[in-house]
Structure formats: C-alpha cells, structure tokens
Amino acid sequence: MVSVKKIDAKDTYHLRLEVLRKNIDLPHEFDGDLDETTFHVGVIEDHNIVCIGTFMKNSLEEIKGIQYQLRGMATSSEVRGKGYGKLLLNFATNELLKLKVEFLWCNAREVAVKFYEKNQFEIIGDRFENKAGPHYKMFKTIKNE
C-alpha cells in the first residue's frame, strides 16, 4: 500500500541524512523548515516514509512570478525506480496550484537532472558546484488549468 501526504519537517530528517547528507558537512535541518508557508510531502510505503520533498516559498531572480523552491527531495535506495518521485511531485503540484504558484524551482544535483527533465523541469543557467557536488538550477511552470 502506497500513499502520499503532507508530513512534518522532522519526518524528513532521516532520509535527508541517509540520502542527501551522507559524508557531507551540510545541515539536514533547513532554514525555513518550520515557516508557515513551507510544506513537506512524503510517500509512504508499508508505513515507512520512503520519498520526501520540502516546498518553500522562495524566489529565483531569473524567473518572474509566484514561486516555490523544492528542497531536500530524496528517495530511499530500496525503492528507487518505482515512480515515487513522480507521485510526490504530482501531489505537491496540486498543493502549489491551490496556492496560485506559477513556478517551482530547485537546485538539482547533476545525477538527478534526467529525473527532473522527465518531470517537465528545464535547466536555467550554468552548472555550479557546492559541497554536495555539481548542480543545475531547474524550474517548471505550474499550470492553472
């Protein structure tokens, strides 16, 4: 049984540490995690949170319009390839539509670019490096249809 729902910030920390921060000196708690405009989404399989994403009100200069940033998206290695990332993004997109958000953007790790492209994200700008390795800024238009 698989479900997707909003979760608490603290429920994201385990996967952030396991998948995104392993051997990397970066915080697993984000500034803004507890802001009232921030929400966290989890995919739950057999009562375990196996995929997470955090959605924060934040703007990128290169994009004009109402924006949110996706941060800390991670999927447990045991369930990768099952489509849970797509499920999570679809759920979050519906939540963002309710908020009248026009664009969703993220700093995508180079290894995740293909995943984001399959989910209608486009690269904006040049490749850049941070402690977690090579990244690209990516964004997608959220359509109010």
Q: What is the pLDDT of residue 123?
A: 96
**Domain harbouring 133, CATH code:** 3.40.630.30
Please give the residue that has the higher pLDDT: either 32 or 19: 32
pLDDT of residue 115: 94
State how far the Cα of 90 lies from the Cα of 109, in Å rounded to an integer: 20
Total domain count, the chain: 1
Number of other residues whose CB lies within 10 A of the CB of residue 21: 18
Owner of token pair 């990128």: 60
Rounded to an integer, what distance in angstroms lies between the CA atom of residue 59 and that of residue 120? 19
Which pLDDT belongs to residue 23? 64
pLDDT tens digits, one per residue of 93-118: 999 999 999 999 999 989 899 999 99
Tokens of 29: 């708690």
Whether 122 has a pLDDT exceeding 90, the answer reads yes
Pairwise CA distance, residues 36 & 26, whole Å: 23
Alpha-carbon distance of 69 to 23, in angstroms, equals 24
| Domain residue limits at 108 | 2-141
Kindly tell me if the per-residue pLDDT of 21 is higher than 80: no
